[in-house]
Each structure stands twice: as structure tokens, then as C-alpha cells.
Amino acid sequence: MQASAKKQKKAEKLSLGERLRRVVIPKSGTDKSITLAMVCLMIFGSAMVISTNLGTTVGHVRDMYIGIIRQGMFCVLGWFVYCFLSWVFNYRRVNRILQWILVGAYFVVLVYTAIAGIDVNGSKAWISLGLATVQPSEFGKPLLILMLALSIHNMKELPKEKQTFWHVFTIPLVLLLFSVVFVGGLQKDFGSLIITLGIGFVGIMVPSYKNLKGWQHWLLLFFLVMVILFVVGVYVTDWFTEWFSDVPLLRHIAVRIANMKNPYLSIHDEGYQPANALYGIADGGLFGQGFGSSVRKYGFLTQAESDYILAIVIEETGIIGLGVIVALYGLLVWRLLYWALHVKEGADKVLFTCTAAYFMLHFIINVGGVSTLLPMTGVPLLLISAGGSSLMAVCIALGIAQARIVAIRPRIEMLQDIEHKSKAAMDEYHNLQNGRRQKKTTRKPRRRRA
């Protein structure tokens, strides 16, 4: 009894040290390429945010230092969350009751934001926490990814008659409804709404279960129709500009579509920011003007550190800087899709694919908006743009993904090792058989005795 008590005390002592280690170092077995890409993007993004702050806080030295400290705090806190989740996350920890608690808490926060949120350009999407503001809709994206994965994970526990589309995806569909009502309707944040709906679409389309095939086919058809309608209404004709300009809730979308087509028509009004973003991109060239040498951050771009930070990045670091961002994003997305293709569990396929879609959608919509290839929707460039909410949301999503990589990696590597060994054995066998055939063909024929 005493020996067991000593072992227990020793384990408790180790667990205290382990707890400290879990918020500083990712768990062994995580994908180092994902960690490397995330850290490099975080460092590069923080450097660009600090450079941009030099222009947006001219004459306000105190605000500049506060912005630098705030960005550093968000990076450190995000790293702690990332490491902690890579150690502790497990599907079994998030039971059905906890799932509904998380969804209910998210609903309460969205309601509070709609009532008492900070109004920025006619949109109440932020909550003030004193030194920083929080955008709850950013946390809805990793929450939706988690709920989509859990829906597939819990599907096997449902009776066969309840393994239908509505029973399986009940919680994700509720979250998507919240996004349509609050994020798109009340907050007028159509960029976040598009990304949330895109994540939901990917999460529903990935599972390959017979009971879901019918709805997946209809959703795919609906998606294709929407894409065709978007291309025709935005690029081929002026339908959306004419229709949305008559609807007060959608009038700002009509303005952004018009600015995308030609920002120089109202260069001193609504087209001021997209036009200056294009000027900054043009001034960047191949190698850029040099770090800290941007001109557009000095009042020409009012959202230089958030939505339009890519214009500052290209102006200062050129196409080379953009190439670095593309390469790091490509590495991150490639590793996530690699695990999605190699894992057998449907829940993990959904988790990795939706996390990759999360990054891809943000990248495409932000880059398209800054370059006026797409209407600007106010979507940040993840890990590059300033903003603690998006940074923390990314760290949560990647931390959960890393925890699942740690869980599935031994089995995948074992299967790959068996496959390689069996392939080597088959190659050796074929080589042996070919050698025997060659000996038979080269053997001299015996002479017959007279």
C-alpha cells in the first residue's frame, strides 16, 4: 500500500511538470511541417503587423507600443493553446452534452454581440474586453469543424434508422443557421458567412456513407448552380449590382462588386481603398520597396493591418514575399490533405479536410479581394493579418488537428511500413524468378549419345 501511495505521489509530481510542458511544447508525434509553417507565418505576419503599425499610429507612440504588445500576447497565447490541445484533445472528451453546451454558449455570445457589441462601419461583430476586442464569429469556424467531425464520429452509435442526414448533422446545421441569422443577417459579415458555409459544405461532402449520398448529390448540384449564378451575375452581367443596390441590407455588396470591376470610377469615395491596394501591389514589383518602406500604410489604406495587409506585404517585400506566404500556406494545406488521404476514420477525414478548406477559403477570398479579382468581403489573411480572434481560432483548429495526427500516426506508419516491406519482398521474389528464367534460357543443350 505504501509503495502504491509513493508511486501515486510521484505520478502527481510528474503530472505537475507535465502540465507546464503541455502549454509550451507540442506533443511528440505531431506533424512538424504544420508546426513549422504555422510558426513561420505567425512570425512573418507579426513583423508585417508591426511594420504596418508604424504607419497607422503616426504621432501616437503609445498606441504603437500597445499594438506591438497586443500582437505578441496573442501569438504567445495562441501557441500555448495550440500546444495544450495537441496533448489533451480527444473525441471522447467531447460528449453529446458538452457539444450542446458549446453550441449554446456560442449562441449566447452571438446574441450578446448583436445587443451590446461594438459597432464598426455599421456591423456589430466585436465584443470589447478592455485592452482587446473579440470577434465571436471567428471562433464559430473551428467550432463548426469540430462538430462536423464529431457528427461522423458519433454516427456509428446511432441506430440504423437514425443514420440519416438530419440526425447525423443536427448540430452542424444549427451552427450554420446561427451563421446565416447572426453573422450574415445582423452583422452583415458576408465574408465570414461564405467561409462558414464553405466549411459546412466540405464537411458534408467528404463522408462516403450510403445514407448521405442523396443529400450530397443535391448539395453538389446546388453549389454548381450558385457558382454559375455568381459568375454570370458578377462578371458577365451587372445583375447583382442592380438587384442588391435596391436592398438596404445588401447595398454595400453592390458597392463592392462595382469597386471590384473598376475601383477608379469612385477613387475618392468607395473605391479609395481597393485603388490604393492596387497601387501598393504595383509599386512592390519583384523585390518590394524594402521592409518598413511602404507608403500606402500612411493613411491611404485605413485597414492596412487587417483586411488589406497583403497590399502592404507586396509593396514592402514584392512578389517574393507573396511567394513565401503561398509556399507556407501550400505546405500547411498539403500536410493536412496528406493525413486526410491516409486516414481511414471518416471523422478524421472530415477534420483534416475542413481545416485545409478553412485556410484555403480565407486565402482565396482575401487575396481575391485585395487584388480586385473578387469583391472585397473583409476576410483576414490567417496568421498574417492583425487580430487576436482569427489567430486564436487558427491555433485551436490546428491544435485539434495535431492531436488527431498524434493518435493516428502510429497506425498509418505501421501500415506504410508493412506495405513497403511487402513491396520489397515481392520485388525480390520477381527478381529471383527472372534470374531463374534467364539461367534456363542460357543453359547449353545436352548432346545426344550415338
Which three cell numbers mark 399? 491544435
pLDDT higher than 60, residue 7:
no
d(CA 322, CA 325) in angstroms, rounded, equals 5
Most confident of 3-17, 246-260, 332-346: 332-346
Q: What is the pLDDT of residue 267?
A: 83
Q: For residues 386 and 310, is the Cβ–Cβ distance under 8 A?
A: no
Q: What is the pLDDT of residue 58?
A: 64
Specify the amino acid at residue 202: V
pLDDT higher than 80, residue 167:
yes
Read off the pLDDT of residues 370-408 as tens digits, 9 standing for 90 and up.
999 999 888 899 999 988 899 999 999 999 999 999 999
Q: What is the pTM of this model?
A: 0.89
d(CA 243, CA 447) in angstroms, rounded, equals 97
What are the CA-CA distances from residue 223 to residues 83, 205, 219, 230 (Å)? 36, 11, 6, 10
User: What's the mean pLDDT in 189-214?
Assistant: 92
d(CA 425, CA 419) in angstroms, rounded, equals 10
pLDDT higher than 70, residue 30:
yes
Q: What does DSSP assign to residue 26?
A: P
112 φ/ψ angles, rounded to the nearest 5 degrees: -60, -40
Read off the pLDDT of residues 331-355 as tens digits, 9 standing for 90 and up.
999 999 999 999 989 999 999 999 9
Read off the pLDDT of residues 34-58 as tens digits, 9 standing for 90 and up.
999 999 999 999 999 988 887 766 6
User: What's the mean pLDDT in 218-244?
Assistant: 91
Q: Name which of 42-46, 144-148, 263-267 the model is least confident about.
A: 263-267
pLDDT band at 129 (very low <50, low <70, confident <90, very high): confident
